[in-house]
Amino acid sequence: MQRKEIAGLGIGKLITGAVVVALALCATIFYLFYTGRFGGGSKLKITAPARLGYEWSHLAADNNIVSDYLFSRSKKLIVAKGGDGVLAASSYTIAGRLVTQEAEDSGVYGLSDQALLLKCYVRAGDRANAVTLKENVISRYKLADGTYRTYVYSEGTTGEEIVLMSAMIDWLDAMTEYYVTYGNDNDYNEITALTAVLFDSEGNLRTESVSVAKYAESLYVGLDDTSSIGEDDEGSLEQIYGTITGDTESADIENSETEENVEGVLLSNINLRLIRDLENNGLIPAGAYDRALKAVKDGFASSDHPFYAYATSGAMDCGDYIYSGRNIGSVDIAHNVRTMMHLAEVGELDGMAFAEFKEMVMNSGRIYSEFVFMTGNYSGAEAVGAYTDGMMLAYYRGDTDLYNKLSDTLGKRVATKSTSPALYMIFREENDRYVFYAGENFATRLATS
């Protein structure tokens, strides 16, 4: 009798085990069909996204930046209220003190902002929102020639049809991260198509038309002048649009300067980690990463002035560099920080450049917009958009002191009023109103989690 019971128990376990295995197999097959990978779909191996962990998140939280709360509020304000429920508005202004100052969104949806949001969804494990956002971006931003619009607009809002390399690179970067987690073969085809748009047959980033200020004797001096932005101005949406569309009128521009459009490549667009991943997966030719790395490193000014160039005045590997997008004889710091971040991510940042940046931040607590060669001083408006790049730069270098200092400065612009609809979010004060930018808040989320 006892043997029969034991035998029966053994058979029961076998049956239960078989059911579990069958269910797991069915789930696997369903997943493969669902993601479009049944039958040997294409695979990508990419560098694991940065996961900062407790130590770094704790430093940010000590400076008022609570990553989970910030992201939760950002979705409610910038996507649900300020956007269209799927796309994120580039900015959202909360209601002011006066009854006539109603809350308002920009009516503009930037591609780079959607790229940051997609990364946030993927890293949060939010598949449903990630898929919906990805599909909306492809259907609403993609043009017939395979390029992507930099902006789309809400009903009643108009703007120029702009295509920028920087925005498309941001989207390609986000798509590769999305694909390895949730993507299907259609997404893989989107990645290969966009890669072909951005890179030439040798794997070099394609040039784009950039506005260059120059002396009459043809000395290139800068791109997209923004010197009209005041010392204390943190940059309004209108000013940003003025820069993008080539509005370079400024009282500070000398009569000896003229303007022209040239073909060039912004060094801050050379995302080395992304280029390395594309090469390793055979999406661009072998040697592309080494050429890109050389192009960036060759843009290093000197040991006396340890900064990287703003752009090339020609092909990526031409060797002719422009050091400022602002004024004659200066360095554009915001783009310099982005370039340094890309270098640090692959372990190739010059130590002198990092030391110079850290000294500026630790001494002043700020990231200035430019460095002037003639005076040897930092000047201009605060480069408020560069703090998250600086935080990631500090993370890649393992420098908690610098990360903490940058968090402290950024944390001073966190909404802390308990009744505010934007509690925990990063704001900018413009014209006595509180404005919340999608890019800044989503980038802060990524830099603190």
pLDDT band at 17 (very low <50, low <70, confident <90, very high): low
Measured in whole angstroms, how far is the alpha carbon of residue 297 from the centre of its chain?
Answer: 21
Residue 412: pLDDT over 60: yes
Residue 211 has a CB neighbour count (10 Å cut-off) of: 18
Residue with more model confidence, 379 or 256: 379
pLDDT band at 217 (very low <50, low <70, confident <90, very high): very low
Token pair listed for 39 = 């039958």
Cα–Cα distance for residue pair 164/205, rounded to 1 Å: 13
Nearest to 333 by CA among 304, 305, 364, 357: 357
Token pair listed for 97 = 């003190």
Cα–Cα distance for residue pair 340/308, rounded to 1 Å: 8
366-393 burial, b at 16+ Cβ within 10 Å, e below that, comes to bbbbbbbbeeeebebbbbbbbbbbbbbb
9-27 burial, b at 16+ Cβ within 10 Å, e below that, comes to eeeeeeeeeeeeeeeeeee
Q: Average pLDDT for residues 377-405, to the nearest whole number?
A: 97
Q: Average pLDDT for residues 104-122, to the nearest whole number?
A: 97
Residue 241: pLDDT over 70: no
Residue 247: pLDDT over 80: no
For residue 74, the model assigns a pLDDT of 97
Cβ(438)–Cβ(94) below 8 Å:
no
Cα–Cα distance for residue pair 270/295, rounded to 1 Å: 9
How many CA atoms within 13 Å lie on the side-chain side of 106? 25
- What is the average pLDDT score of the chain? 85
Nearest to 441 by CA among 48, 79, 53: 79
For residue 394, the model assigns a pLDDT of 98
37-41, 131-135, 176-180, 275-279: range with lowest mean pLDDT: 37-41
Give the pairing type, strands 151-153 and 220-223.
unpaired
Nearest to 271 by CA among 322, 326, 195: 195
Token pair listed for 408 = 């402290």
Residue 23: pLDDT over 70: no
Residue 254 has a CB neighbour count (10 Å cut-off) of: 9
Q: Which residue blocks in 316-412 are alpha helix, DSSP H?
A: 333-345, 351-364, 387-397, 400-411
Q: How does DSSP assign 360-376, residue by residue? A: HHHHHSS-EEEEETTTT
For residue 368, the model assigns a pLDDT of 96
13-27, 94-108, 367-381, 414-428: range with lowest mean pLDDT: 13-27
Q: How far is CA 338 from each of CA 203, 376, 435, rounded to the nearest angstrom? A: 21, 21, 23
Q: Average pLDDT for residues 254-279, to the nearest whole number?
A: 83
How would you class 159 by CB atoms within 10 Å of its CB: exposed for 0-12, middle for 13-18, buried for 19 or more? middle
For residue 255, the model assigns a pLDDT of 40
For residue 19, the model assigns a pLDDT of 53
For residue 199, the model assigns a pLDDT of 98
Residue with more model confidence, 244 or 210: 210
226-230, 270-274, 309-313: range with lowest mean pLDDT: 226-230
Q: How far is CA 363 from each of CA 198, 358, 360, 367, 405, rounded to the nearest angstrom? A: 39, 8, 5, 10, 10
Cβ(371)–Cβ(326) below 8 Å:
no
